Structures are given as C-alpha cells and as structure tokens.
Amino acid sequence: MNGFTLTFLAFLLATSAIHLWLAERQRANVLRHRHAVPEPFRDRIDLAIHQKAADYTSAKMRLEQLDIIVGALFTLAWTLGGGLDMLAGLWAKSGWGGITAGTGLIISALLTMALLDIPMNAYRTFVVEARFGFNRTTLGLYIVDAVKQGVIFLLLGAPLIALLLWLVMHAGGWWWFYGWLVWTAFTLAMFWLYPTLIAPIFNRFIPLQDESLRDRIIHLLERCGFGNGGIFIMDGSKRSQHGNAYFTGFGANKRVVFFDTLLKSLLPDEIEAVLAHELGHFKHGHVRKRLVLVSLGSLAAFAILGILIDAEWFYSGLGVQNISYAAALLLFLLVTPYFTAVFQPFSSYWMRKHEFEADDYAAAQTDARNLIFALVKLYEENAASLTPDRLYSAYHDSHPPAPVRIAHLSSKLAAPSVT
Ligand SMILES: [Zn+2]
C-alpha cells in the first residue's frame, strides 16, 4: 500500500462508477421511449420491433453493468487481492530462467483471465442473445472457437512475449523503444494477415458474385480506385443473426466484407449504397489513420512502462512482492484501462466522424435514400435502439446513433421532399 494504491483505487472506482451510470442512463432512456416509435421512423418500423429493440438494449445494459462490476472485482483480486503475486511466486520457484518463467507467468495469467471470462461470455451468447432470437452458436461451435483462439494465442503470443521480455533484459535503457518497434511491426503484420490468414479460420469468405449487381459494382469500384475483387460475403449466420458490413486490411489485402445475414435482406440498390459507404472508409484512408493513432498511443504506453518497470512503488502499490518484468507487463495490462478511460469519448467522436465521412462519400456516389433504407433494415435486424441516451452515445458509440445518422443522410438528399 502506498500513494499509488490510492490513485489506482480512485481511478478504478471513478471509471467503474461513470460506466455504470452511463449504462443506467442508456437503459432508462430506451425504456422511457419504449411506448412509441420515434417520429422519423414511425411509418417504417413497427411498434413491436421498436419494443424488442428497447428490451434488447435494456438487457444488454444490465449485462454491461454486471460486466463492469465483475471486471473491477477481478482486477482488484489480481492486484491488491494478491492473485498475481501468488502466481508470480509459483513461477519464481519453478527454477526456470528469467525469460521462460516470465513468458510462462504471462501466458498462464492471460489464459486464466480468459477462462474466468467464459461464464459471462457464455451467458451473453446462450442466454441474452438467445432470448432475443439472435444466437445461432451451438455449444460445439463455441468450444471449437475457444480452442482455436487459445491455440492462435499460444502460437503468436508466446514468441512475442518472449521477445519483449528478452528486450527488457538485454536491450538497455531504450528497451521500451525497441519493444514498441517490435509491437508495431507485430500489429501491422497481424492487420495485414488477419483478413486472409486468421479470419478464414473462423468463417468462410466467398467473393461477391451477383450478376444483377456486377456492372454497377465494377463501375463503383473503378470510380474510387479500389481495384477489382476484394468484396466478400462472410457466413456470419453460423454464429448470430446480427448483420453487418465492414472494411478491413490495407494494400493488396484490403477487403469489404458483407455478412450473409445482412445481404439476404438488402436490395441491389441498397447493397451498392452500403458498399459505397465502406469504400468511403477506404477512400478517406480511415484504416491507415487509425493505425497511426493506435501506434502513437502504444508508443506512449511503452514509454510509460519503461519508467514503471523499474519503479518499486508500482509493484508494491498494486500488491506484488514477487517483482519481475513479466509481473510489470501484466500489472500494466490490468490497470491501464482504468487510467485511459478518459480518452474514450475522444476516440468515439473521431470514429463517428469517420462514419459521417463515409456516409457523405456514399451519398455522393449513390442515392443517399438507398443507404437510409439499408440502415433502417440494419437497425431493425440488429434490434438497435432508435432512442439512445445522448451521453452514453457520445462516450461509447463508434457509429452515430440511428436518428442522427439518418438525419445527416437526409440532409444530403438532392431532391426536395414532397409534402
Ligand atoms: Zn462505416
């Protein structure tokens, strides 16, 4: 216990309290507007669907609140509760060398955390998602997914952790800078390889080949210089009824992915509009911009870790007596989210700005009306709330809430509306 203990507790309590309060606001706001479909959607969305969205959002907020409390309790158990110190003590007695024992400590701690996460995760999938008719994941698939994730984590994570620990021990005072270079190279490589190497381990990706769409899509792709190919359909229906579309990767590995669930309900005009939106992300270089910001953030994180790793108060303040570099890395991973939560609203704002830019691009390339129709279907199918709380949304949402986004698109419509 020292001054840092109190600082950490203050941040943990404040962050948890704010997150709980925001989730409660969201829940209350959605339930308050449950009785009627909001004006701009009144003739497009049934009351029953609106009420399902309200109930679903409310259930998700309850789950989020539980998650916040359990997460804070786990963090306390690992740190001040002595969980990490106990595990570090076991590895210190193992008799293995520094890097082996350190890698073992980090991997065993992260795997334990993942195992402790399973009950909450399974409850989300098999109880909440299932109650609203969204879940398609079988228990078998759930287990297979977990095993695959574990194997990928071991294959990719273990060498990375060992290399980082080696740098801490042997690269001198600038280890954190080399560590950041390694980390950034790893992140870029993962981002590059993910669409073609990792994602197909979990889902099937088929190139979009629709005769009725083909010419228009090729035209659109030419107009924005995307190159041919790279438009895929993913079998999202394997796990969930939720539908989506996203843009990922860069260079030759860039791709736009449609979930089969979404594609099924969209008309050709609407598919073209959604594709134009995703191409807007490509055109504006959003993926590149985000990668630059993330790597600057991780540079700051490594620089701070470079100081903390040699500070006795950092370990003792968080309940660790068995000091090691591996323990410092784990403590840093555990407590950082509570200190960086203040950046969340800025990051969300920036992401929403990108969504507006991509919507503007789609409105310029296609008829904005088609994107509006597609979005309404997307909100309906995902039971997204049409009446989110302003503060919750400003803090958390990476996409503008439905009414804001549709109002923005409507303002782009060239033709005046007929009254
Ligand atoms: Zn988008």
Query: How far apart, in Å, are the Cα atoms of 60 and each of 31, 79, 416?
Result: 13, 28, 39
- Of these residues, 64, 85, 129, 278, which one is catalytic? 278
- Could you tell me the distance, in angstroms and rounded to a whole number, from the CA of residue 290 to the centre of ligand 1? 13
CA 358 – CA 363 distance, rounded (Å): 9
- Which residues keep their CB under 5 angstroms from ion ligand 1? 355, 358
- Could you tell me the distance, in angstroms and rounded to a whole number, from the CA of residue 257 to the centre of ligand 1? 12
pLDDT at 156 over 50: yes
CA 166 – CA 160 distance, rounded (Å): 10
- Could you tell me the distance, in angstroms and rounded to a whole number, from the CA of residue 361 to the centre of ligand 1? 11
Could you identify the residue written with the tokens 């860039």?
254
- Could you tell me the distance, in angstroms and rounded to a whole number, from the CA of residue 70 to the centre of ligand 1? 31
What's the sign of the alpha-carbon dihedral 340, 341, 343, 344?
A: positive
CA 53 – CA 157 distance, rounded (Å): 38
- The predicted pLDDT at position 14 comes to 97
Buried-state track 26-35, b at ≥16 Cβ within 10 A, e below 16: bbebbeebbe
- The predicted pLDDT at position 188 comes to 92
Could you identify the residue written with the tokens 């995760």?
121
pLDDT band at 419 (very low <50, low <70, confident <90, very high): very low
- The predicted pLDDT at position 415 comes to 53
Whether the pTM exceeds 0.75: the reply is: yes
**H/E stretch holding 232:** strand 231-234
pLDDT at 287 over 80: yes
CA 258 – CA 276 distance, rounded (Å): 12
- The predicted pLDDT at position 243 comes to 86
Q: Could you read off the pLDDT of 319-375 as tens digits, one per residue?
A: 999 999 999 999 999 999 999 999 999 999 999 999 999 999 999 999 999 999 999
Q: Could you read off the pLDDT of 125-144 as tens digits, one per residue?
A: 999 999 999 999 999 999 99
CA angle in degrees (0–180, nearest 5) for 380-382-386: 55
- Could you tell me the distance, in angstroms and rounded to a whole number, from the CA of residue 313 to the centre of ligand 1? 44
Residue 418 corresponds to which tokens in the numbers above?
């007929």
Amino acid at 408: H
pLDDT at 417 over 80: no
Contact 34, 360 (CB under 8 A): no
Return all residues near 277 (Cβ < 8 A) that are at least 6 apart.
Answer: 245, 358, 359, 361, 362, 371
When the pLDDT of each residue in the chain is averaged and rounded to a whole number, the result is: 92
Percent of the chain with pLDDT over 70: 98
N-terminal to C-terminal alpha carbon distance within the chain: 69
pLDDT at 230 over 90: no
Percent of the chain with pLDDT over 90: 75
Strands 245-248 and 205-207: unpaired
- Of these residues, 85, 359, 380, 389, which one is catalytic? 359
- The predicted pLDDT at position 227 comes to 77
- Could you tell me the distance, in angstroms and rounded to a whole number, from the CA of residue 16 to the centre of ligand 1? 29
- Could you tell me the distance, in angstroms and rounded to a whole number, from the CA of residue 355 to the centre of ligand 1? 5
Active site residue 278: yes
Active site residue 359: yes
Distance of CA 202 to the CA centre of its chain: 17
- The predicted pLDDT at position 32 comes to 96
Buried-state track 373-392, b at ≥16 Cβ within 10 A, e below 16: bbbbbbbbbbbbbbbbbeeb
CA 386 – CA 402 distance, rounded (Å): 6
pLDDT at 212 over 80: no
Contact 54, 389 (CB under 8 A): no
